[in-house]
Homo-oligomer: A and B are copies of this chain.
Amino acid sequence: MANVKIPDSVLVGPEGTKLKAWGSSKELSAVGKPRPKIGAQEKVTGSAIYAYDVQLPRMLYAAVLSSDRAHARIAALDTRKAEALPGVRAVLTYKNIEPVKWEQEGNILRDTVGYVGEPVAAVAAETEEIAYDAIHLIAVKYDPLPSVIEPLDAMKPGAPQLQKAGNVWQGKPVIYKRGDVEKGLKEADIVYEQTYTTSVQHHTTMELHGCVVQWDRDGLTVWDSAQGVNQVRDQLASRFNLPVNKVRVICKYVGGGFGSKNSAKHYHGLAALLSKRTGRPVKLFNTREDEFPVSRHRPKTIQTLKAGVKKDGTLVALYHKAIGQCGPYLDGAALGARATGDGTKSLYLCPNLMTEAYSVHTNTPLLAPTRGPGDTENLFALEQFIDELAEKVGINPLEFRKKNYAEVDQPHDNHHYSSKGLDRCYDMAAKAFGWGQKAKASAPHKKRGIGMSSLIWHGNRTEKSQAGVIIQPDGTAEVVAGIASLGVGAETIFTQIAAEELGMKMESVGIRWGDSSSTPYTINTSSGSRTTAIAGPAVRAAAADARHKLLKAAARLLGIKPTEIATLSIKDGVISTGDQSKKISVAEVARKQGRELIIGTGHRPPNPEDMAIEIFGAQFVEVEVDEQIGEVKVLRAVTAIDCGRWINPLLAESQIQGGFIQGMGMALSEERIMDSRNGIQLNANLHEYGMPTSLDVPDTNLALDPEVIDASNNINAKGLGEPPLVGAGAAIANAIYNATDIRVRDYPITPNRIVQALKERSSGTRQG
């Protein structure tokens, strides 16, 4: 790995000291090494406790009655039968609920509904069965209001207007430009334009969304299935006007989030209000059917790209217009305007560029970030479009990408990157994949194809973070972090960072997390591939503080002057002078500390101001397409990701493999099928929705580490949760084209669409 200069500002240590810049993983003892994921065994053996497992004494069960209308006013609402059902303890509707603002504009329950699935009433009862029986006894009479489901319909004149500013979110598109696209197109030898669509992707977490809430004099305690403990806590405190120290969110294990469990949702609010009303704990979990409308999703998009290219392949102009579908309310709507993301703006050198993104209000459920939001939709379109451009100028897609490589971050004042290993990713992944080679298909009607995609994910983090490291009386260490365990492996990585800094063995370092109470504000929520890069440096700072205090205590015991503690170092839990003449174990120092534990705390130093930070990668796939039935089998995948330092190769591989599979699901099968007349989802169940199963995953799913040391923080990491998904779909689409000469530009590329396209081609109604 090239020598990287880490700025002093990110290596600030305790009491004016400076942290050591870490070299390559080979020079380290805990960081860069595989450590099995903390909690993995608990999960597979069933001992991990999830929010759904929480049973409290006197706990009630809640159920929610949701709207089956896309847009309506509630003309009549009769809850008397439900209230009279034995075992029912509370029925909340807009008529009797206290005014608390929630996701939609206005109160948490209102006299109008804006999408199918919007809550209308909530019941708390002695059993789950009674609660569900009760919601069926609530009589609702709706007065229909004009509705619109499809974003293109919503943009037409005369469409029902869902927001004051119109159906386009904020009344206008989000525009970015540099140079002059029109001028660029005129200078180009070839101008090409194409349109792509992507479908709604649901998070489809294994663990349903929900929580157990207890609201008593001690405040609000929430056992949650959340991606973080602090954001939900802060939102609940703010919405209920409670002091922060009276709201506690507990979440140790999460059965998947992917962006849908970042924030306080309807179910949090309704469960809390039911608990407040009844004075008893309340458990409220979605059913699987509820999940589809209630747990939100990635927007569907319609994207048009237009580019001007020189004959030699130089990109001179790029225009990208994207229309995203959002729900009727402002909450989450910004996500509909993110498909013109980092890829279009930053991935290729292009002097004349403009993007125009519309998020369009419709009477459909609300959006939430969905693993790689924006950039995933962006690259699905862009990276197919790039392949098409390459073909137009007759250049190998990889060469085309390399030719237009951007050394600096064009949208951010052309700043140099804190690191950019995309070239390394291209080369090592292409080599490992055997780019250009294509094996023979297994049957004449089966066609093989190879394809690739670049990927980018925004790595610039400005948030603060804080962590703690406690040295226990027996010399073992405990990282204390205000995070939940989304499954991204942060807990494991933090122990490695702390072990490295402390000079202790990995197995001597544990971690406590999953509770907003008594922990520092380590991260608001694990999203945006931020946890390692945001919180990791704070953990290192906290460990450095603990180390400093350990060395001061050791110096006292060894008779070394406080000014000379820099001569001490720690290795494998033993503190010694450089000449080994004096030594003492961490355990002995800790034992002598007794009950006055060493508590290290640390903050994340801010990023250097003059650096752009982005995550890059390259993905290569080989597919086999059965032209008879349109089925696509992904045979193998190779992904190389420059996410900065790989703190734990085992977990990095796992993230890359999992992310690729989720991207594959989006590319090939996952789709929300909605009746555009009434806004009712027709496949709101796991069977028909079409998630990949273990039978669909490629036999080879290789993850490669380009060994990049990033300069933006003290652990040299940028983030890895989302990137592996971002480029997967386009690589698969490009491989399908390579196999069949068919480009299906509407995702997902289902067997139906392939068969249809093949038919159109053979009947002459389709080209390419």
Contacts and interface: CB of A to CB of B under 8 A. Distances in A.
A472 B244 contact: yes
A332 interface: no
Interface stretch (A53-61, A124-132, A190-198, A621-629): A53-61
Contact of A237 (B218, B474, B603): B474
Contact of A57 (B46, B245, B466, B519): B46
A396 interface: no
Given A243-B510, A478-B517, A279 B595 contact: no
B245 A478 contact: yes
Given A41-B217, A474-B237, A521-B597, A508 B464 contact: no
A216 B47 contact: yes
A480 B279 contact: no
A463 B595 contact: yes
A596 B47 CA distance: 34
Given A218-B39, A244-B476, A472-B245, A279 B45 contact: yes
Contacts of A394: none
A191 to B, nearest CB: 48
Interface string A57-70: 11000000000000
Given A244-B473, A473-B234, A601-B599, A512 B521 contact: no
When all copies of this chain in the complex are counted, the total is 2
A144 to B, nearest CB: 43
7 contacts: A38-B218, A244-B472, A244-B474, A246-B510, A515-B515, A518-B518, A524-B595
Interface in A211-226: 214, 216-219
A55 B58 contact: no
Interface string A444-480: 0000000000000000000111101010111011101
Contacts of A473: 234, 244, 521
Given A41-B217, A245-B510, A246-B476, 19 more contacts: A39-B218, A41-B216, A46-B57, A47-B58, A47-B218, A47-B280, A47-B281, A245-B472, A245-B476, A245-B509, A464-B594, A466-B599, A468-B518, A470-B518, A473-B521, A512-B518, A521-B595, A521-B596, A521-B597
A536 B38 CA distance: 36
Contact of A47 (B46, B279, B465, B601): B279
A517 B521 contact: no
A520 interface: yes
Interface in A224-277: 234, 237, 243-246, 248
- Most B CB contacts (10 A, CB to CB) among A41, A234, A465, A476 go to A476
A49 interface: yes
A42 interface: yes
Given A55-B55, A464-B596, A243 B474 contact: yes
Interface residues of A, number: 59
A281 B219 CA distance: 29
Contacts of A478: 245, 517-518
Given A244-B474, A472-B243, A510-B245, A53 B53 contact: no
A467 to B, nearest CB: 11
A440 B27 CA distance: 90
Determine which residue in A245, A470, A524, A594 has the highest number of CB atoms from chain B within 10 A of its CB, and name it: A245
A470 B519 CA distance: 9
Contacts of A463: 595
Contacts of A508: 243
Nearest to A481: B518
Interface in A268-295: 279-281
B476 A218 contact: no
A517 B234 CA distance: 23
Contacts of A214: 47
A716 B440 CA distance: 86
A344 B36 CA distance: 61
A219 to B, nearest CB: 8
Nearest to A473: B244
Interface in A496-531: 508-510, 512, 515, 517-521, 524
Interface in A27-41: 38-39, 41
A42 B595 contact: no
Contacts of A38: 218
A41 B279 CA distance: 11
A219 B219 CA distance: 30
Contacts of A39: 218
Please list the 6 inter-chain residue pairs (A to B) with the smallest Cβ-Cβ separation, ordered nearest first.
Answer: A245-B510, A55-B55, A41-B217, A47-B216, A244-B472, A521-B595
A512 B55 CA distance: 21
A370 to B, nearest CB: 25
A509 to B, nearest CB: 8
Nearest to A58: B46
A477 B243 CA distance: 9
Contacts of A520: 470, 597, 599
Contacts of A465: 595
Contacts of A245: 472, 476-478, 509-510
A466 B472 CA distance: 13
Contacts of A246: 476, 510
Interface in A590-623: 594-597, 599, 601, 603
Interface in A678-728: none
Contacts of A46: 57-58
B464 A42 contact: no
A219 B474 CA distance: 15
Contact of A45 (B49, B216, B480, B601): B216
A599 B522 CA distance: 13
Contacts of A218: 38-39, 42, 47
A619 to B, nearest CB: 34
A47 to B, nearest CB: 4
Nearest to A466: B596
Interface string A570-599: 000000000000000000000000111101
Interface string A10-48: 000000000000000000000000000011011001110
